[in-house]
């Protein structure tokens, strides 16, 4: 098992903090925005006497709310097509275990969310990667790149749309290309759409659920980022494929139930939060505009303009970004402050790729992002003049 590139430097950050250093966390997608007040209110007014097991697929009342959410997006999803999980993380792992046998292959894009690899290893499945490139902003590679890695053991394509870590949003046209490969080779399309609400180019994100290939599609969703409630661990598997649904359910029965309290918060967070979502969207967009512009003004730093989520993968004028990230935590201080980034090599499977890149999450207030830009510029200067 590889260590998480997002969390592996955490001990160094802790050591810095123990020295009294302030560490700005750009490494992890932990939104700083508040959870909807309605979600917190639901906790404060809890009247239950016993915090008991919920159904293995989650409370029907919650699944009905999710169903309503999808209907608003123009997606016809029934409560029976939704299984509530312990975050998107569990949703991915259970989907892998339900759709693929050990030894089967799944195609992923790189750079990709590092924990996909961990879940693949847990499920005993092999990861084949198709590389997207910083030069074209991490757009979908041509179909031939997918066909090149497809073998008789290929069972699924995993897509994250909008993408973590690149922030790239796959267009309707790109999603149709994916649909065609999925159909042609009879694959599953596992689509992680947890950042669906955070798209900044004016177009709604094309859900895999709208592609007309229902039997092939499993969507991973989560309330974590949408409502700034990562800690409640509520995600879901959404599929119209009955066999996949039923197999995921068997795994769900073994682990008994998803978190009860998280379900209570999630259920209270879904409806009547249009203004909240609009405000979050505006805030992230403003941060993106500010932060990406600032990154590209630092000599030698190049960041594409991400169209979704709240991450970017940028290249730095260093040879070994992991060494630089470590050095920032162990050696670099500016007025008692430093910053933490995630080395991007951990988001690539192909050895050697992304060595000079980092993933950054713009989940801090603009004034903090301004400070991060200053810290990064100064750190690069000092690091390269050591």
Contact residues: its own copies, CB under 8 A: 1-4, 7-8, 28, 30-35, 39-40, 43-46, 48-54, 56, 86-87, 89-90, 93, 97, 102, 115, 118-119, 122, 124, 228-233, 247, 250-251, 253-262, 265
Facing residues of 342 across strands? 359
Q: Least separation, in Å, of the C-beta of 227 and its own copies?
A: 9
Q: Which has the closest alpha carbon to 216: 158, 170, 168?
A: 158
Q: Which has the closest alpha carbon to 321: 373, 349, 346, 357?
A: 357
The Cα 96–Cα 330 span in angstroms is: 38
Could you report how far apart the first and last alpha carbons of the chain are, in Å? 34
Pick between residue 115 and residue 315 the one whose CB is nearest to its own copies: 115
Pick between residue 79 and residue 317 the one whose CB is nearest to its own copies: 79
Yes or no: say if 189 and 218 are a contact pair by the CB < 8 Å rule.
yes
DSSP state of 250: H
DSSP state of 300: T
Q: Least separation, in Å, of the C-beta of 200 and its own copies?
A: 22
CA angle centred on 343, ends 130 and 140, rounded to 5°: 25
Q: Least separation, in Å, of the C-beta of 195 and its own copies?
A: 15
Q: Which has the closest alpha carbon to 5: 313, 235, 373, 382?
A: 313
The Cα 158–Cα 106 span in angstroms is: 7
Taking residue 76's Cβ as centre, other Cβ atoms within 10 Å add up to 12
Pick between residue 261 and residue 353 the one whose CB is nearest to its own copies: 261
Q: Least separation, in Å, of the C-beta of 191 and its own copies?
A: 19
Taking residue 182's Cβ as centre, other Cβ atoms within 10 Å add up to 21
Pick between residue 54 and residue 206 the one whose CB is nearest to its own copies: 54
Pick between residue 88 and residue 304 the one whose CB is nearest to its own copies: 88
Pick between residue 3 and residue 151 the one whose CB is nearest to its own copies: 3
Q: Least separation, in Å, of the C-beta of 254 and its own copies?
A: 4
Pick between residue 21 and residue 33 the one whose CB is nearest to its own copies: 33
The Cα 106–Cα 96 span in angstroms is: 9
Q: Least separation, in Å, of the C-beta of 353 and its own copies?
A: 21
Q: Which has the closest alpha carbon to 344: 366, 378, 318?
A: 318
Pick between residue 261 and residue 286 the one whose CB is nearest to its own copies: 261
Q: Least separation, in Å, of the C-beta of 125 and its own copies?
A: 11
Yes or no: say if 113 and 164 are a contact pair by the CB < 8 Å rule.
yes
Residue 296 corresponds to which tokens in the numbers above? 């590209």
Facing residues of 235 across strands? 85, 222
Residue 357 corresponds to which tokens in the numbers above? 């890149």
DSSP state of 26: -
Determine whether 382 is exposed, middle or buried from the number of CB atoms within 10 Å of its CB (0-12, 13-18, 19+): middle
Pick between residue 28 and residue 302 the one whose CB is nearest to its own copies: 28
Q: Least separation, in Å, of the C-beta of 146 and its own copies?
A: 25
Pick between residue 193 and residue 377 the one whose CB is nearest to its own copies: 193
Q: Least separation, in Å, of the C-beta of 145 and its own copies?
A: 27
The Cα 382–Cα 379 span in angstroms is: 5
Q: Least separation, in Å, of the C-beta of 173 and its own copies?
A: 33
């Amino acid at each position: 098992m590889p260590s998480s590139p997002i969390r592996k430097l955490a001990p160094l950050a802790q050591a810095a903090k123990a020295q009294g250093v302030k560490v700005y966390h750009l490494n992890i997608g932990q939104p700083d925005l508040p959870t909807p007040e309605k979600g917190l209110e639901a906790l404060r007014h809890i009247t239950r006497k016993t915090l008991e097991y919920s159904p293995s697929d989650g409370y029907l009342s919650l699944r009905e709310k999710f169903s309503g959410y999808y209907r608003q997006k123009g997606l016809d999803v029934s409560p029976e097509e939704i299984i509530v999980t312990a975050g998107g993380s569990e949703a991915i792992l259970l989907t892998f275990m339900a759709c693929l046998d050990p030894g089967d292959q799944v195609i992923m894009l790189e750079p990709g969310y590092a924990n996909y690899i961990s879940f693949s290893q847990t499920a005993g499945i092999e990861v084949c990667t198709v590389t997207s490139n910083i030069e074209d902003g991490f757009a979908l590679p041509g179909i031939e790149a997918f066909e090149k890695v497809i073998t008789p053991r290929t069972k699924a394509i995993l897509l994250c749309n909008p993408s973590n870590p690149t922030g790239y949003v796959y267009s309707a046209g790109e999603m149709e290309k994916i649909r065609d490969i999925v159909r042609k080779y009879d694959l599953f399309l596992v689509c992680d759409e947890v950042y669906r609400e955070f798209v900044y180019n004016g177009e709604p994100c094309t859900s895999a659920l709208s592609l007309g290939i229902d039997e092939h599609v499993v969507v991973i969703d989560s309330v974590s980022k949408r409502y700034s409630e990562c800690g409640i661990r509520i995600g879901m598997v959404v599929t119209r494929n009955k066999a996949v649904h039923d197999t995921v359910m068997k795994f769900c029965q073994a682990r008994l139930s998803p978190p009860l309290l998280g379900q209570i918060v999630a259920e209270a967070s879904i409806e009547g939060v249009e203004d909240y979502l609009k405000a979050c969207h505006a805030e992230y967009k403003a941060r993106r505009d500010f932060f990406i512009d600032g990154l590209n003004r630092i000599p030698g730093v190049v960041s594409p303009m991400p169209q979704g989520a709240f991450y970017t993968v940028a290249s730095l004028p260093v040879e070994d970004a992991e060494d630089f990230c470590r050095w920032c935590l162990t050696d670099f201080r500016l007025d008692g402050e430093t910053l933490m980034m995630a080395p991007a090599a951990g988001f690539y499977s192909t050895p050697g790729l992304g060595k000079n890149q980092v993933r950054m999450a713009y989940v801090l207030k603009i004034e903090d992002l301004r400070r991060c830009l200053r810290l990064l510029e100064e750190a690069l200067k000092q690091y390269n003049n050591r």
